[in-house]
Structure 1
């Protein structure tokens, strides 16, 4: 069956959450938004493309930073309302220059920073 991005369930803004996961380590790197066109561009090019809600434009991960996400696998969840993109990540995934956006843990009611920015 041919994949059609219009069969996904998008929110009222026409967006669907996409979780990026490192293809080798399994580490969850980040969550960002895609619209149907970003989904299509990602599948066409193999470069993960998101929709920036603040800029109202496409952004190809790593285009300006060099921290590229090369698509390895593209998955749709059972409800068709969330995506999982497994990637080969070059450099930091987070805009704070950390490997992952999930660098803050809550332990015993206290926030703990698990990693520093990459050098």
Structure 2
């Protein structure tokens, strides 16, 4: 599910376990499609419902990041659960992704960025 908030396309990942290959594929495909829909070139992925994430999904997020860079879309993540944030830290992905504690913090960061990339 996605919605607009202050010109930012906000995507809510509602699947609590991103472990199954089919679910990962569908989620990644939907996220990539939304990159094209980000009219103002700003995409926020809210992970508040996600409790578990496989390494395959981490790979898909790296692909999403690269696609956003190519399309000049400013990508941010919010509401990442503690356990998943720890995985991002261990793998060094916390240095690649812009991760915020909650959706409002991420939206404020877009504002500080001048709403662009």
User: For this structure pair, what is the TM-score category when the shorter chain's length is used for normalisation?
Assistant: under 0.3
Question: TM-score when scaled to structure 1?
Answer: 0.25
Write 1 or 2 for the structure with the bigger share of helix.
2
Write 1 or 2 for the structure with the bigger share of strand.
1
